[in-house]
């Protein structure tokens, strides 16, 4: 089970409308199973999608020129495409852009990508047809998972290469996973009892142009980051107890004088976790303060939580944003009496030569008034909502913050294993008969190695840009690269915190030998210590350590913060 997957149990159906998709719903679908939860379109979204698709058909009927509909893409924006080649154009963009490399995304990431893409298309500004959008939902509901390579996106125009791999399967090309098999796209569709679509005008561009992949990646890692930030307080608290630290630095009066909200929140959390502990010390005139790695947890952990909160806020916006280009805007002067409450944009029985040519420089079209007397205006406007800069900056910021959580955790591991640093509270490298036994010496090495990797990965992707498409797309975000880096940083942090808990539990057992086996841990650390000891014994002498590290990582990965919180509150 991955972090946050308990949400699946509470969701049977998710209705998407392009405006109200939540992080919890994305997580439930990502880690769920086909049809659990089931994804459906709202009736309002269906109407909006039909309306937008009709607008595209109106443009074609009028013979008007519109970017990405009757023109080429990128540097080919001035190349006019004849009406009889429009469908070929849309197929070609999907095939030619499917140039991603690297290992494929895992199934949860692919499912998140498909759901988020469907949601942005459901707003009805992209010109996609209802049948194409509903096929995406059928992929989710039946478990057809396109094979999407991880690398190849510049983060503007959106995530072109990875989204093209996804779109390929919609037209029966590419590859997909279905029921545990990797199949050719058409074969996967056939086994799922689905039929491919033939892309109509604008659809290939609508499917491939947007920030969907970086959003999906970033959302899943931000959900993990929330949990890891909570675990950092717990692992730090267990280390503090093992090191005979003090809670005086967490006094609420101190933090009220520097009123950073998450610093205050972290200090309160630490006070609660360590409440009633027999392992902490009170005021000691000979030892009035601890090292920064213990004393400054509220300031460091709290600042890192700021980065998590910023990413949460940003993703909430991005989930329900339209990141396609160009966008189709439709307005009408009064309510219609047509089906779905919408005035038909084009009556195909009417010859297009009867339409007055009212196109202006902005691409505005005024079809004739309908029977209901409504006047409809269609605008096709090119913009830059596909640019991933907001996401790239947020993910770089979050990666730096998670790297810092790893840095401070590794320094606590060092203090647990270095008897000079811990004033001989604990034996060297947490082992008896040191010399013959190396104990936890190399555990700290592993943590240090992961910290160094994270420091390298924390170089911001967003400060880099490489012009593309003959310098038409002359500034890109590298947002997908930022999200991929973030994923690796989060994975490394998960292991670092696992190692700290492994070491801290060993330290607690040494402390118990000194102060008494009946001594109690804090309200919040008892539960995590018991989880560790249920799977990992006290290490009396050197033995094969890797299995214990794997067990510690499983504890962290499967740790349910809400259950832990409920348990420790009842202590």
Residues with a catalytic annotation lie at 67
Distance CA 40, CA 453 (A): 42
Q: What's the gap between Cα 351 and its chain centre?
A: 49
Q: Are residues 89 and 74 in contact, defined by beta-carbon separation less than 8 angstroms? A: no
Tally: H helices and E strands in the chain: 19, 9
Q: Give the tokens for residue 450.
A: 């992961």
Classify burial at 208, counting beta carbons within 10 Å of its beta carbon; exposed 0-12, middle 13-18, buried 19 or more.
buried
In the sheet where 175-178 sits, what is the strand order?
144-146, 175-178, 181-184
Write 265-271 long-range contacts (CB < 8 A, 24+).
Answer: 265/302, 265/305, 266/233, 266/297, 266/298, 266/301, 266/302, 266/305, 267/298, 267/302, 269/233, 270/233, 270/236, 270/237, 270/297, 270/298, 271/247
| Ramachandran sector of residue 324 (left: φ over 0; alpha: ψ -120 to 50; beta: rest) | beta
Query: What is the rounded distance in angstroms from the CA atom of residue 367 to the CA atom of residue 358?
Result: 8
Q: Which residues contact 43 (CB under 8 A, 6 or more apart)?
A: none
Measured CA distances, 438 to 118, 182, 432 (Å): 54, 46, 9
Can you state the angle between helices 107-121 and 23-30, rounded to 10 degrees?
130
Distance, in Å, from the CA atom of 368 to the CA atom of 153, rounded to the nearest integer, reads: 42
User: Per the structure block, which two tokens stand in for 130?
Assistant: 């209802």
Contacts of 278 by beta carbon, 8 Å cutoff, 6+ apart: 515, 519, 520, 521
């Amino acid at each position: 089970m991955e972090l946050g997957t308990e949400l699946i149990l509470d969701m049977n159906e998710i209705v998407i409308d392009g405006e109200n998709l939540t992080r919890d719903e994305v997580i439930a679908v990502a880690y769920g199973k086909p049809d659990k939860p089931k994804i459906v379109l709202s009736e309002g979204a269906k109407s909006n999608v039909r309306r937008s698709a009709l607008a595209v058909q109106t443009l074609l009927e009028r013979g008007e020129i519109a970017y990405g509909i009757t023109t080429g893409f990128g540097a080919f924006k001035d190349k006019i495409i004849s009406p009889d080649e429009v469908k070929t154009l849309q197929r070609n963009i999907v095939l030619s852009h499917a140039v991603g490399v690297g290992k494929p995304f895992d199934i949860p990431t692919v499912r998140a990508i498909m759901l988020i893409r469907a949601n942005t298309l459901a707003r009805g500004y992209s010109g996609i047809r209802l049948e194409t959008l509903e096929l995406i939902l059928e992929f989710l509901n039946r478990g057809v998972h396109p094979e999407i390579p991880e690398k190849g996106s510049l983060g503007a125009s959106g995530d072109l290469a990875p989204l093209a791999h996804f779109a390929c399967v919609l037209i029966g090309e590419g590859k997909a996973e279905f029921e545990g098999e990797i199949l050719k796209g058409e074969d996967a569709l056939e086994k799922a009892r689905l039929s491919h679509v033939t892309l109509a005008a604008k659809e290939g561009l609508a499917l491939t142009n947007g920030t969907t992949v970086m959003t999906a990646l970033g959302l899943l890692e931000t959900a993990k980051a929330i949990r890891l930030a909570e675990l950092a307080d717990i692992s730090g608290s267990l280390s503090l107890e093992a090191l005979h630290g003090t809670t005086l630095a967490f006094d609420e009066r101190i933090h009220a004088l520097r009123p950073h909200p998450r610093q205050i929140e972290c200090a309160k959390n630490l006070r609660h976790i360590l409440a009633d502990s027999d392992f902490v010390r009170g005021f000691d005139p000979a030892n009035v303060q601890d090292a920064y790695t213990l004393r400054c947890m509220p300031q460091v952990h709290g600042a890192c939580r700021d980065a998590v909160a910023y990413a949460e806020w940003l993703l909430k916006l991005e989930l329900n944003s339209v990141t396609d280009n160009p966008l189709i805007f439709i307005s009408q002067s009064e309510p219609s009496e047509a089906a779905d409450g919408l005035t038909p944009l084009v009556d195909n029985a009417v010859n297009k030569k009867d339409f007055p040519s009212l196109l202006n420089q902005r691409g505005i079209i005024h079809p004739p008034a309908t029977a209901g007397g409504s006047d409809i205006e269609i605008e096709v406007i090119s913009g830059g909502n596909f640019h991933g800069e907001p996401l790239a900056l947020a993910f770089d910021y979050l990666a730096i913050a998670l790297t810092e959580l790893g840095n401070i955790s590794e320094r606590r591991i060092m203090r647990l294993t270095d008897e000079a640093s811990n004033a001989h509270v604990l034996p060297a490298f947490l082992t008896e008969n040191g010399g013959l036994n190396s104990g936890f010496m190399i555990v700290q090495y592993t943590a240090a190695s992961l910290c160094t990797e994270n420091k390298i990965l924390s170089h911001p992707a967003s400060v880099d840009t490489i012009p593309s498409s003959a310098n038409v797309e002359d500034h890109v975000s590298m947002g997908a690269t930022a999200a991929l880096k973030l994923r690796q940083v989060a994975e490394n942090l998960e292991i670092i915190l696992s190692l700290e808990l492994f070491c801290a539990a060993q330290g607690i057992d040494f402390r118990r030998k000194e102060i008494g086996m009946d001594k109690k841990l804090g309200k919040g650390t008892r539960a995590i210590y018991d989880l560790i000891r249920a799977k990992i014994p006290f290490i009396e002498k050197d033995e094969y350590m890797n299995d214990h590290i794997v067990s510690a990582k499983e504890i962290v990965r499967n740790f349910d913060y809400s259950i832990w919180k409920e348990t420790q509150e009842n202590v």
